[in-house]
Amino acid sequence: GLKSSLFERLIATCRQNGWHEAIGMLKHQARMHQDLMKFPNEMFYNGELDILPGNKWQSSREQIFEAESENPIESLLSRRRLVFIDSNREDSAKLHRAEARLTADIVRTIKNKYGADFNKQTVGVIAPYRLQCSEIRGQIGIELAGLVTVDTVERFQGSERDIIIISFAVNYEHQLEQFFSSSGRGDLGEIGRASGRERV
């Protein structure tokens, strides 16, 4: 079946045959700040992942958002680099309009804070469904459409942005089961590996 990826099958074959010298695990990464790294490190790397030695930005404490801001989104973003925002359920399997509006509000908040420094490398938005990506693009509007990449996990893979926003658009429990398929890796694993420098 296709439940296990090619690499998972190769690893299983190596382990079954005792070919331990043929497999290894990534131990250092240079794409995420150490605060962001905590989540994928615990979920996918058994606590063995570390930042690349000498990469000072990965452990910096620089903060661009203000905790005392009157904008509640900016105040929330100032608290930590990894922020989860819960949203109410909607009656769709692949679309969450309220979450798309919130995503657009977050993008505009970041744009206002960055000002003239906001560019194509500043923000990326990832969603598991094309329908949700389309809704987010519509909510972001024409002004920011050329500066913000909104795409699925598969299409975004390999790209890098300073700030990553993930819109899960999960309304039903069975969707979570799909995300956590294949021993807890699945799409969430890919999202963890696509995380940007600033926050998710």
Question: pLDDT tens, 88-106?
Answer: 888 788 899 999 999 999 9
Question: pLDDT tens, 14-38?
Answer: 999 999 999 888 899 988 889 889 9
* pLDDT confidence tier of residue 176, bands split at 50, 70 and 90: low
Whether the pLDDT of residue 116 is over 50: the answer is yes
CB atoms under 10 Å from CB of 145, counted, come to 12
Verdict on whether the full-model pTM lies above 0.85: no
Q: Which two tokens stand for residue 173?
A: 């429990």
CB 106 within 8 A of CB 114: no
CB 132 within 8 A of CB 94: yes
Contacts of 190 (CB under 8 A, 6+ apart): 153, 154, 157
CB 29 within 8 A of CB 51: yes
Whether the pLDDT of residue 194 is over 50: the answer is no
Mean pLDDT score of the chain: 84
Report in angstroms the alpha-carbon separations of 38 from 80, 103, 181. 12, 23, 21
